[in-house]
Amino acid sequence: MFIGEYEHALDSKNRIIIPSKFREEIGDNFVLTKGLDGCLYAYPLNEWKVLEEKLKKLPLTSKDARAFVRFFFSGANEISIDKQGRALIPQNLIKYATINKELVSIGVSTRIEIWSKEKWNEYNDSDVDMDAIAEKMSELGI
């Protein structure tokens, strides 16, 4: 399980250091793709397979399902972590997430989210009503 929040920077070669607590769970290779809310999602290979199986079951006849599957798979890249714990972020994903230099990696249960620090701060400063969201989640049995 991924938990926690870590701030770090993109180096001149577009690499980030994967926090050591995350490296233990994510392994030497992982899948990095576009995420929702303008961040990137990093999945261990076994979790990516679970997501892939779920996405395969979406109806091909649904325009929304096709768009959703395209969104996740078109941005997906298998990434390797080097001996120093660094991972190269592809340019198209840096552009998508508007990462300049500073970024934040957060653990979200089965995945890591990588945010530009600016977007993460905006998200945290937004007027998200967590009480209302929690009430909706309780209606879903969570």
What single DSSP character describes residue 37? G
Residue 127 lies in a domain: no
Tens digits of pLDDT across the chain (142 residues): 999 999 999 999 999 999 999 999 999 999 999 999 999 999 999 999 999 999 999 999 999 999 999 999 999 999 999 999 999 999 999 999 999 999 999 999 999 999 999 999 999 888 778 888 888 888 887 7
- Outline where the chain has alpha helix (H): 20-26, 45-56, 63-74, 91-96, 117-125, 130-139
- Tell whether 131 is covered by a domain: no
Structural domain tally of the chain?
A: 1
Residue 64 lies in a domain: yes
Within-domain flag for 34: yes
Does residue 17 lie within any of the structural domains?
A: yes
* Verdict on whether the full-model pTM lies above 0.85: yes
36 part of a folded domain: yes
CATH number at residue 112: 3.40.1550.20
Range of the domain at 92: 5-117
